[in-house]
A and B are shown apart, each in its own frame.
Chain A
Amino acid sequence: MELNSKIPAGPLSEKWTKYKAEQKLVNPANKRKLDIIVIGTGLAGASAAASFGEMGFNVKVFCIQDSPRRAHSIAAQGGINAAKNYPNDGDSIQRLFNDTIKGGDYRAREANVYRLAEVSNNIIDQCVAQGVPFARDYSGLLANRSFGGAQVSRTFYAKGQTGQQLLLGAYGALSKEIEKGTVKMYARREMMDLVVVDGRARGVIVRNLVTGELERYSAHAVVVASGGYGRVFFLSTNAMSSNGSAAWQCYKKGACMANPCFTQIHPTCIPVHGDYQSKLTLMSESLRNDGRIWVPKDAEKARLLREGKIKATDIPEEERDYYLERRYPSFGNLVPRDVASRAAKERCDAGYGVNNTGRAVYLDFKEAIQRLGRQAVEEKYGNLFEMYERIVDENPYVTPMMIYPAVHYTMGGLWVDYELQTTVKGLFAAGEANFSDHGANRLGASALMQGLSDGYFVLPYTMQNYLADQINVPHISTDLPQFEEAENAVRQKITRILSINGDTTVDMIHRRLGHIMWEKVGMSRTEQSLKEAIEEIKELRAEFWQKVKVPNVEGMNTELEKALRVADFLEMGELIARDALMRNESCGGHFRAEYQTPDGEAKRDDEHYAFVAAYEFQGVDNEPILHKEDLKFENVELKQRNYK
């Protein structure tokens, strides 16, 4: 297999313009004859489906929730980046590009990232036109705030519910097309397999979650916008139904999976409190605008805090170690996520952690409340403070918040070319499901930007370029043997799971997988820990297929849904560990303890590892084939990231 990224020739800033000028188009009469399937209704899926519908294609869109409005994009809190430079602080497309490439630790493709920065401004225009109620200042113009990894204020926001408002904008656009009849919505359906006919993606097998029936749908092209695979780690900030299975079936049908070990651990989450816990809650990165992160300078004081003998407010100012401000004076509390997470781990490992577990640091608003007044802080972060208080039962206006890093996002995903097409013809991947824009670490407020960029402004062009060759292909029949075969394989898998009737629940196995992943493939990885993880995951996978207990009931069967996803997580975990083991360097969210600078920063090896690792499936128990796409940096100078 040859990886061809199809990056247009010419100067970086002209590539996308040139592509759009030269791409093939489909005329309106032909668009009506072409079908597109979209999997997922988050920012990428909903915006793509709505845009395809407006263009005149026949669109079928699927989501696992009861409504397309519930996709996990809805939970994004802090904001969306754009290079508008409204605050007049020196921002530009070039600077957003530079920050994103550097933030990703030089492991993303230049051309894709530049295009992302280029269309970022269109996204804000589009959302405002849709009635997204972004925050404004008294002039009536849009307000901005800062996020990690940037020295400008380029983040647009709608209170602490930016993802919700952007998704509802896209959901509105989607609803408009559903009403018009160009888009047909299928809710409570989960993609079980991809159907490939003569080398092209031509349809999907989905499970109707209400009836339990398998259903077949065909199309001329398929877009997978099904999000990331963070729940491999069991505990994460992802929603309960977030899973990597749709993308994983694509991988098994020939689409390469790229950089799977690039997973993001978010620094500001509410710490873990018990074994029964089902998920972790994020506290928006925007809090780092005004909150200051610290632990006690004295390890003895940290011990007393852990034992509950003293309170955080008992520690005087001079005994607090604001370790991010100390280590990174120029970015301070606003260093990128991977840097902030590792710094928290370093302090806790050294014995300065707080909370009864010792796995937490403080995020303190005392100074901000003194400077701005409680009301201003409440206006900016009120809903986040409320959320914290509800979960932890402490008032963060009085006592500093406790936070600890947690799995949040996956930069890795299906390998796509410049057109967002995978290695299977006619199969596209968008949003978190693809690997393309964030390299080894995603900057805050860039996920929303990428999802909407892919859906509103990239796929509508590149999809036409693909479909222009397909205008003479009639509607695909779902009676083709490939559909029959795929459906039978899914049915057999389900029958097999239901027939095990062992003595372990799906969650018990998932929790154990999460433990292996977090301890051995988490924030800090070593050759030894990864080798152990690969073996342990294999054993756990075998155990799953012998011991899992899933109730055999007709129709709605939520345990079966979970079991099918965990069966895939047990395969994904191994690939993540393999990729991490292969990459003998540290970069972004991938930190191999063997490769660090004397002061504990990630040490890249550009000579040997400046490539995208794309894996080709060879069977569950065989090693996948590694394909390398060399990353060429013609517009930025490769250097060690410096936030000091």
Chain B
Amino acid sequence: MSSLSSLIRNENMKIYRRPRTWLMIAFLILSIALMSGIMKWDSSQNHSRDWQNDLTERNASMQQELQENKELSEEDITYFTNEIMLNEYYLEQDINPDELSLWNYVSTSSSLIMLATILTVIIAADMIAAEFTWGTIKLLLVGPASRTKIMISKYIATLGFALLLLILTFASAYAAGGILEGFDGTSQAMLSITDDGVIQESSYFLNSLEKYGFSVISMLMYVTMAFMISSAFRSSSMAIAFSLLFMLVGNTLSALLSGYSWVKYLLFSNIDLTQYMNGATPLRPEMTLTFSIMILVAYYIVFQFVAWLLFTRRDVAA
């Protein structure tokens, strides 16, 4: 009987021995390099002037706005006051807020997790369907490993690939930031203002992790969906095409249909949890964080169950 760990090693071999996988990884790293390059170029265009003078001017104009504009909302007032307070703190401590630190690169790289997600979705969609396309499914299944075990090993290998891409994204953004801005920014603290109006120093690292965390949740959902599609279709090109289609069209679709209340039950309406974070408004007013988490968990279970059912119960005849 096969052990799960050796089955996972087999699946890993099938992922990493394919040149395609390394092209994907190269593409991801290249994209991060490109993003970092553009960020650097952009900032070098902007802050050639005297930043202290800049901040002072900005503060003055905000102050003026606060005093003269009587139609400002409560939110705007808090925002302006906080900004002014922060800027004064920057001037006091001699910190240039517009100067990029390595953490800006890491933080921005979290938007490239979308790319990592697309790449992992391609791998996931291929995971089961490709065995059918290659005709190797028969030899794979005729062995001392139950179908459930084979499926679990494939799913774990897929998650492993996702994790690798995440680590690579983080590491290459960190490296790019370090190379372009110096690694001495690593210990720099992130400044923000709490609700009580106190300036607070927090860790950039934790902030980046948080940004990554939200993207990872949507990544996990998309990848699990692709995995289910993979066990439904017996052709890898179909599986990849459908997975990418759902992923790319889904968000637009739920935004378009947000007028209807049933939209809140769609996967795509709940997949982005940042809609509940400070300041953002959820897709529909009645949606809450708990509600979305419950919907996501339900979808996750359904995806896994359907995938398992399709993979273990069907005859392999062709």
Do A and B actually bind? no
